[in-house]
Structure 1
Amino acid sequence: MKSSHKKKTKATIKEEETSLSEPSSCHFFNDLPEISAYRSHLLQWYDQNKRELPWRTVAMTEPDVNIRTYAVWVSEIMLQQTQVATVIDYYDKWMKRWPTVENLAAATLEEVNQMWAGLGYYSRGRRLHEGAKKVVSDLNGQMPRCTEGLLKLLPGVGRYTAGAIGSIALGQVTGAVDGNVIRVLCRVRAIGADSTGPVVTEALWKIANTIVDTERPGDFNQAMMELGARVCTPKSPLCSQCPIQTHCHAFRKVSIKQEQDSKRLQSKLASKLNTSVPEIENCCKFSKFIL
């Protein structure tokens, strides 16, 4: 019994992944007006509810593109597998000590490890240090100016990190798919297949690159992450507070299911009442015997 269940599950997942490889009105955004409305609703919510974070302030106010890119890069590496609240103090201390990529490159690895103590995953700090030295020695101190360059030239920078830095610091029109964004997109487009599979991963990146706001790509990507972290949470999501609820297929499916279940329950209750309550004529006949 167990083995047949596993086979069925794998077959279902394979079928779902196959369906994602072809355009679908359910799993993808194909309507331009809906994309425009989605962007507008999300960014309006973000502007009103975003957290004031030091790296966001730098991204918005720092005119020097080299410092801005470096600052966002540091924040993204620190935020890997670490909560925002924990990162803030470390980030502030780091940027105060090494405000530029040249400053970091001149530091020793021992100093970097001391500054990183408590954040965990020390390899992240080492990769930042290695990357800073590479930028200074190989790139004349200039941080890469595009997403592709960030991905190819900086150690420890993967597809998501390059997309995040590129959009936030450089204004590159690219999506950024992290764990929070995966959850939001899977719910919004009702994708039930394994999100770690290659077909689904590519589908999610395709969706992210389709809907990212072309004028405010950095804010849009941060809004998606913020939504996943604070509203579209793994457990007990706050759907009533979601700015993109009208675009969410999962919410729609759940609402329909709840409505159907409610009607079935009401029907069962009505049926029980009808069979258990005697007719009024019978009540009258019975009352004669009592009298």
Structure 2
Amino acid sequence: MYIVQVLSTTAPLMLAYYLASLGHSIVEKSGVLNLAIDGVFVLSVAVAFAQAIYTWNNPLIPVVISVASSIAVGLILVYTTSKLPVSHGAIGLSLMFLCYGLSGVIGVPARTQQGLTGQEVGYPISPVSSVWVLLYIVVVGLGFLLHYILERTKLGAMIKASGEDPLVAEALGVDVLKTRILAGVLGFALIGLGASAFELLYTRIWREGTGIGHGWIAFAVSLSSGRHPLLGIITAFLFALLYEYRFSILAVGLPREMADALPYITAITAMVIYMATPLKTKLKTPKSLGKPFFKEERTI
């Protein structure tokens, strides 16, 4: 019974982390460094909350609008970094802070209206319900589907070629810009879905700053799994489990601040382990990740 409780309480957060990390992995496999992930996650959380308030907890519209907002930001990132010789990091971080600000602009009026109407947001999942089992099935199914797309389809080959060597990919007939845009739409749609799951299935509340840091945890899930869709299932579960039960360490006398910081300390540790061990060689980073590709001048 305890195991069932752990699995059921962890499922919504695992789904959020896994979807966001999966989207992040697809974007970066195409060669685009995505440092905007945390801002996009926070913005999509606020959009999902606001639309849930305005539509009286409609089960579909908040998700659709949240995904659309994520894709919109993603297209700006992908287009500017692929069409212009600009720094991926500078554009990504700028968009991240822009999204932080927009989240407040969108979320605060909705929270004010919630205070007037008492409208509840989201869908709680009971341990006695079978919904949490469905969430795990969705996660595993998505993992295998994306693994198949990346490894067995022409689209997957084009995405990976664009991330490895865009010049060679162009010479072989791949339109790198279009490929990265497709990867961006798919990837940021998944990030938006993850943020929607975080808001509607996990927190079910909103205040300024809700979601901050969780995009970086999804970033760590992606990196520590080598951007591999199937390994990401394991790392997403472990990070979700750690975050959900982080306050258990209070029982051994550690301060609350340490409990709050534990998931992020673990994220940093996981990324260091990945970068400093043979995992980096076995699960290779795309060679052209983060490198400007200016098609007109044919330079990297």
TM-score range, shorter chain: under 0.3
**Higher normalized contact order (CA 8 Å, seq sep 6+, divided by chain length):** 2
Which of these two proteins has the greater Rg computed from alpha carbons? 1
Answer 1 or 2: which has greater helix percent: 2
TM-score, normalization by structure 2: 0.24
